[in-house]
Amino acid sequence: MQRQEQEPFKCKFSAYLKNVRNLSTLLKSVHFKDTASCKISELGISFLLEESRCVFAKCIITHSVFEEYTYESPVGLTEDIQGPGREAYDEEGSVVFEVNLAILLTCLNTFGTANVPTGYEGQGYSGHGASGSTTAVKITYDGPGTTLNFVLEDDGIVTTCRIPTCDSEESMLFDFNEDSHAKIILKSEWLEEGLRDLDATSDRVVMRLSTVIPHLRISSLGTIENLDVNYSLGDVLESFQFPYDRPIESSYNFVHVLHALRACQVAQKATILIDDNAFMKMQFLIPAAERKWMYTEYSFSPLEL
C-alpha cells in the first residue's frame, strides 16, 4: 500500500533513564554552544555541534545505557516515497533534528538533581547527588514537526517538559583518515591538567608527536612565553601508536581545543588521534553506570593544511 503524499513521516521513540544525571553529564561535555543536531536511531541518541566548520563535538548515549529504549522508523522509509518530513530521515532510517541544548539542560535539572556528576562505585562517584536522590526521565519523540518530550519523576513528583525542534542543517564533517593516523591513550585528568597548564593568552596550540621521548608535546605560543607540556609512554601515556618515520607537528585554534575540557572533567579515558593531514580527534570515555559507558568526541581542523 502506497503512503499518501500528504501524510507526514512519523516515528515512534521512547526511552527511560532512572538517573537523569547520566544524560545531563554527557550533554554538558559538548555544550560549547546552544544549537545542536540530535540524531535518534535504533543504536541510541547522539548530539552534534559545530563551530565555523573547524571544530565539531559529538556525544553518544547508546541504547544499552537506558533501562528502556524503543525506536521505530516510518514503514517503507527505504522506498522512493516523498512527503512532509521525509527529509528529516537519513538512509539508515535515523531521524535528525535541531534542538536548543541550553533549554534541554535546564529541563533536565528541573528538580536540581542533574548537576552532580554520576558514575559507578569505585570510580570516584557514588551515583547519587549530595542529597542521595535521583531523578528519572522518560523521553519521547514522534517525528518531524513535533516536540521532544521529557517526563521527569522525583520522589513521586512528576513534571513534563516539551522542547520545540526544527529541521537540521547538514553538517559537513571533514574527512579523517581512519587508515593512517597516530593514536594516543591516557587518563583524561592528565590531558586536562596539561591543557590548563598552557598559556591562556595563546591563540594556538601545537601538537608534536615523535618516536623519541617525549612522545607527545603540547605547546602554547603565548604573547609572553611559550609553554610545553610533555608526555611519554610508560610515564603518563598508556598507549602510543605512531605509524610515521619522522616526527609530526600541527597547530590548532587554542580556544577550540579548550572546549574539550568539558569532556575531560567527566571522562576517565582520553584518546588522541591525528591523521596524515593533521586533522585531530579527541575521544572520551564517560562512565554512566557499572560496565556502561557514554562517549564524546571532539574533531579539530588544523590551522594550516
Handedness of CA 187, 214, 205, 170 (dihedral sign): negative
The answer, yes or no, to whether residue 124 has pLDDT greater than 50, is: no
Q: What is the pLDDT of residues 128-149, one digit of tens each?
A: 444 467 899 999 999 998 999 9
Tell me the sheet residues that pair with 250.
207
pLDDT at 77 over 60: no
Q: Which CATH architecture has domain 13-163?
A: Box (3.70)
**How does pLDDT run across 239-282, given as a tens digit for each residue?**
999 999 999 999 999 999 999 999 999 999 999 999 999 999 99
**What is the share, in percent, of the chain residues with pLDDT greater than 70?**
88
Model confidence over 200-240: pLDDT tens digits? 889 999 999 999 999 999 999 877 788 999 999 988 999 99
Residue 118 has pLDDT above 50, yes or no: no
Cα 227 to Cα 24: distance, rounded to the nearest angstrom: 34
Contact 169, 197 (CB under 8 A): no
Phi, psi of 296 (to 5 degrees): -130, 140
Q: How many CA atoms lie within 13 A of 166 on its CB side?
A: 7
Question: Read out DSSP for 37-81?
Answer: EEEE-SSEEEEEEEETTTEEEEEEEEGGGSSEEEEEPPTTTTSS-
Nearest Cα residue to 13 out of 62, 69, 59, 63: 69
Which residue ranges does the chain devote to CATH 3.70.10.10?
13-163, 181-300
What confidence tens digit (pLDDT) does each residue in 170-208 have? 777 778 998 889 999 999 999 999 999 999 889 999 999
Mean model confidence pLDDT for the chain: 89
Pick from 264, 91, 277, 269: which is nearest to 178 by CA? 277
| pLDDT for 221 | 85
In this model, does residue 119 exceed pLDDT 50? no
Domain 181-300: give its CATH architecture: Box (3.70)
| pLDDT value, residue 7 | 55
Distance CA 41, CA 89 (A): 10
DSSP bridge pairs for 274: 182, 280
Residue spans of alpha helices (H) in the chain: 20-28, 101-108, 188-197, 254-258, 261-264
Three cell numbers, residue 53: 566548520
For residue 123, pLDDT over 50 is answered with: no
Q: What integer pLDDT is reported at residue 121 of this predicted model?
A: 35
Q: How far apart are CA 167 and CA 154, in angstroms?
A: 32
DSSP classification of residue 170 = P
Give 8-40 pLDDT, tens digit per residue: 688 999 999 999 999 999 999 999 999 999 999
pTM: 0.90
Give the pLDDT confidence score for residue 128 in this predicted structure: 41
